[in-house]
Structure 1
């Protein structure tokens, strides 16, 4: 890993900041921590480049507002959003805003390290992202019309019952189509499915 790359961790939870910093530094990845988006923004003009990890829900300025602010400032460093289960719709918004990845809490050490290394590599080459996009596009093409309709409902953050009502089918049938879509896409969780679809739709 390049010694010039630094991971900037932004979270109002001191325990999360400390554990992430410890994990990354044990993996020989330089890290800086910030207790708020506002504090981080003050450091942006002189910060070392690398990638940014930010929580969604924070006081003063949330993760989505930070992403928008960074984009307006022309900061091109990839951003990884950390989200609670209830924040999936917000994370979807973040993906639309161009973040590199989002990870649901609780997450494993391996998951965060993979995301960070991918984000740092993203600055060097877009090749892997393009390969992922092509793969996910191929998987999307295998979905039936109904599976795709159910999937669209899921990535919009709708509950199974709402999707069932919209499509005039039973909730149990929605569960079947949902399981089929997840299997065909190779997604283990809803957040993985959303990420795959967002990448597949990249221009």
Structure 2
């Protein structure tokens, strides 16, 4: 089953804007879902689908900045398109992660460029979140001892140093290390370090004696 194409959500309380944007974007092959209120949009919004939101700034009951805040958790790409934009609102929107802040009327080329950029960023964000979720699941499959070995090896410790730190034999650490790599689906220490970086693991201090022949102070 093929993946659904990206969707462009429109949220604007001006019916004429919804009609014109729907015609324009549909004409360029986008799937467009227009909504007259933020509440209507939130009821229909599918967080699992790739796409973007073209959002008005000033609307009754809930303004665009408030809706942007509600969408922050799902990482949805947002383009503001407003006839009442001001510098302070634009700065707030961009600081909160908006892809662009356009004023009505805007050039067709500007809008299309913003839409392509927003959809691309939305797709990359989803891929990154999916990768982190997969890594988290794999890390959760490690035993407590395997997680200790992962943390130390990913920080650049040698097998003999890990063995001394954990009070076990070096050959035992090699077994744990092999199991860690198998569970995480990697083949090198560099890959382990990248995983640690991806999940934001705190770097561990290297042992003072790099040869591992003396005790590291505790």
By the TM > 0.5 criterion, same fold?
yes
- Whether 1:107 aligns to 2:106 is yes
* Contact 1:3 1:30 (8 Å CA) reproduced: no
CA distance in 2, matches of 1:38, 1:47: 18
Query: Aligned-pair distance for 1:123?
Result: 2.8
Instruction: Name 1:123's counterpart in structure 2.
Output: 122
Runs of 4+ in 1 over 4 A off after TM superposition: none
Matches within 5 A, 1:14-93: 14-45=15-46, 48-71=49-72, 74-84=73-83, 86-93=85-92
3-state secondary structure, aligned to 1:123: helix
* Contact 2:8 2:32 (8 Å CA) reproduced: yes
* Contact 2:9 2:34 (8 Å CA) reproduced: yes
3-state secondary structure, aligned to 1:9: strand
* Contact 1:38 1:60 (8 Å CA) reproduced: no
Is 21-30 or 44-53 further displaced after alignment?
A: 44-53
CA distance in 1, matches of 2:33, 2:104: 21
Matches within 5 A, 1:1-12: 4-12=5-13
Distance 1:46-1:121 versus aligned 2 partners, 3 A rule:
closer
Larger helix fraction of residues: 1
* Contact 1:83 1:91 (8 Å CA) reproduced: no
Work out the number of aligned pairs and report it. Answer: 123
Cα RMSD (Å) of the superposition?
Answer: 2.0
Query: Aligned-pair distance for 1:85?
Result: 5.3
Matches within 5 A, 1:127-146: none
Q: Deviations along 1:61-99, whole A, 9 cap, x unmatched?
A: 00000001111xx22220001123553321211111111
CA distance in 1, matches of 2:25, 2:85: 26
Q: Deviations along 1:110-164, whole A, 9 cap, x unmatched?
A: 11111001111113448xxxxxxxxxxxxxxxxxxxxxxxxxxxxxxxxxxxxxx
For the pair shown, the structure with the greater C-alpha radius of gyration is 2
CA distance in 1, matches of 2:4, 2:29: 9
CA distance in 2, matches of 1:56, 1:96: 15
* Contact 1:78 1:120 (8 Å CA) reproduced: yes
* Contact 1:54 1:80 (8 Å CA) reproduced: yes
> Structure 1: which 5+ runs fail to align?
127-203
TM-score, normalisation: structure 1: 0.56
